[in-house]
Amino acid sequence: MKVKILGPGCKNCQALEKEVINALAELGVAADVEKVEDMNKIMEHDVLMTPGLVINEKVKVSGRVPKIDEIKKWIEEENS
């Protein structure tokens, strides 16, 4: 599984990264987690507001930090 955290490193981007890592740990799912801070690469995903979360090249959310339960649901969907 490939997970990308999109954002320039702001407080919300850091919060999203922490929640994703916690969700992966709780589910016991291994994933490559990549931080994408380059705005051109962020724009390639059609994300206009950060932070953004991409799982297996599918944008799951942008512009907010989702709750851990939402993140876990998306991970489970993409991991099945």
Q: Annotated active-site positions, please? A: 10, 13
Nearest to residue 29, comparing CAs of 55, 60, 61, 62?
55
Helix, strand, or coil (residue 51): coil
Query: From residue 73, how far is each of 5, 20, 34 by CA, in Å?
Result: 17, 11, 19
